[in-house]
């Protein structure tokens, strides 16, 4: 699993279960919301970080970031 995803799970306050047939994460509803928001914010950050090539590309990157946030309802 991607290390950044594991960092988001930790930041969201997951509970990691080991010992069954398959280790798994457990989240409360609030923790799951936080986890999802962290992933969306990371995607928005990637879009923003690819701006500043030229004016048109910059506008496109910021528009994509805004659309991602709107799509997932994240501020």
pLDDT of residue 1: 67
pLDDT of residue 18: 79
Spatial CB neighbours of 23, under 8 Å, sequence gap ≥ 6: 16, 17
For all residues of the chain together, what is the average pLDDT?
88
pLDDT digits (tens, 9 = 90+) for 19-48: 778 878 899 999 999 999 999 999 999 998
The number of folded domains in the chain is 1
- Token couple for 3: 């290390």
Q: Could you give the angle at the alpha carbon of 1 between the alpha carbons of 7 and 29, nearest 5°?
A: 55
pLDDT of residue 32: 93
pLDDT digits (tens, 9 = 90+) for 52-73: 777 888 899 999 999 999 999 9
The pTM for the full model equals 0.79
Side-chain half-sphere CA neighbours of 37 within 13 A: 11
Range of the domain at 50: 3-72
């Amino acid at each position: 699993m991607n290390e950044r995803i594991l960092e988001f799970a930790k930041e969201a306050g997951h509970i990691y279960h080991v010992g069954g047939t398959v280790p798994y994460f457990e989240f409360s509803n609030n923790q799951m919301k936080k986890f999802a928001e962290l992933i969306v914010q990371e995607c928005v950050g990637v879009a923003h970080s690819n701006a500043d090539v030229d004016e048109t590309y910059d506008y496109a990157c910021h528009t994509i970031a805004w659309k991602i946030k709107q799509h997932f309802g994240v501020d």
